[in-house]
Amino acid sequence: MSHTENKKMSSRPERLSLTPQERRTSTMLAWLFATRMLGLFLLTPVFAVAASSLVGGHDAMKVGMALGAYGLTQAIMQIPLGMASDRFGRRPVIVAGMLLFIVGGIVCALSDSVDGIIVGRVLQGLGAVSAAITAWVADATRPEVRTRAMAMVGASIGLSFALSLVLSPVLVGQFGLSGLFWAISILGFICMLLAAFVVPAAEQVIPVLQSAKASDVLSDRNLLRLNYGVFVLHAILMMMFMVVPGLLEQTGGLQTATLWKVYLPVILVSFLFMVPVVFYTETRKCHQAILMKMVLLLALVLLVMPVVIHNFWGLMALLVLFFVAFNVLEALQPSLVSRQAPAEYKGLALGFYNMSQSLGVFGGGVMGGILAAQQGPQIVLWLGAALAISWLVLGRGLQTPD
């Protein structure tokens, strides 16, 4: 082989692959995360309508509290359960969290009032295991391939959301709202079994507990930037889904029950574009540059969307671009958090990260609902664009461990 050929080969980025153990663990954790998220998303598309069969179901404020209570208690519990997973291990914390999720679902299934649903949703939110799951993924993978493993988990959010749009109306139509909550509890039970018996164990560094302090995370500017990023990302997602379904119904002549015919192909096509971007990011080790480009894409999509709100195919194209950016960012950010945080408080750092995510869901839903009702969809989308631009500005100082 010539010197020139050797030089060309050495200049090519090394192609990294997950080991069989990494692939198995990441796949099992992605299934666990997807099943859990499906249990969460199933309620969202139908509850506002189905709640009318419950006592207090015509009180819009109570219905909103029933939907939002989960996100709020999730945000509160992410940090203590993240710390607990550092101390006691990922598996026992996830099993305990899923047990709370199951109990909360059963309380909802047996309730005939919105007040009972609120209690059950609070219980479900107390089982906040997102930080422990993402920390387990980080434990089980090398830094060089961690983004790919996180992509499996991140992609499960979009797939679960799309699947929930298909299944939710069918389940409520066949079994009623109570049957939907029983289905959610069954999904929680499956998650608990996966965590307890199926997901392979991963080596975890035993932390020095005294060094795991909240101040360590809060004083790390890179972690703060990543936390702000995931808050903005999920606030934008919720704001989008406060207005986009109505726009699709108006421009495409669709009904609520058939919106899944739009969401499912949009998300699947976006995954086809996301995968090569993630591979490129890993092999070229350009996490910060790709992250900023995806945030810029979010901002551009949200700036253009108000201009094409009366064009069905324009909305479809922008939704594809939105989910390309969303899915790439959903994969990159938790990987960067796990690599940025030292092993002794990895779970705590991911707890803050997932708390920010839950607050974004809660805050985005509230802001989007208020603005959509008072100002219209354009203002909601422009606020999302403003949030993305603020993320772009603050994120420029992010230093990633490429």
C-beta separation of 328 from 290 below 8 A: yes
Q: Residue 390 and residue 315: Cα distance in Å, rounded?
A: 24
Hey, what CATH class is 20-201 in?
mainly alpha
Structural domain boundaries of the chain? 20-201, 211-402
Question: In residues, how long is the chain?
Answer: 402
Sequence-ordered strand ranges (E) for 198-342: none
What is the predicted pLDDT for the residue at 158? 66
DSSP, collapsed to helix, strand or coil, labels residue 37 as helix
The CA distances from residue 185 to 42, 115, 137, 182, 190, in Å, are: 11, 19, 24, 5, 9
211-402, CATH topology level: Growth Hormone; Chain: A; (1.20.1250)
Q: How many CB atoms lie within 10 A of CB 191?
A: 28
- Tokens coding 244: 């986009």
Q: What is the mean pLDDT of each run of 10 residues along the chain (402 residues)?
A: 48 62 85 82 73 78 72 83 84 93 94 91 86 82 75 72 77 86 92 88 56 68 87 86 79 74 80 82 80 93 92 92 87 76 70 82 76 82 94 79 58
- Per the listing, tokens 């990441």 go with 26
Angle between helices 90-110 and 20-41 (to 10 degrees): 20
Q: Tell me, yes or no, if the two domains 20-201 and 211-402 fold the same way.
A: yes
Nearest to 104 by CA among 73, 137, 150, 135: 73
Instruction: Outline where 42-143 has alpha helix (H).
Output: 47-50, 60-88, 90-110, 114-126, 130-140
Q: Residue 116 and residue 112: Cα distance in Å, rounded?
A: 7
**Mind giving me the DSSP string for 323-372?**
HHHHHHHHHHHHHHHHHHS-GGGHHHHHHHHHHHHHHHHHHHHHHHHHHH
DSSP, collapsed to helix, strand or coil, labels residue 113 as strand
- Tokens coding 392: 């772009």
Q: Residue 147 and residue 214: Cα distance in Å, rounded?
A: 25
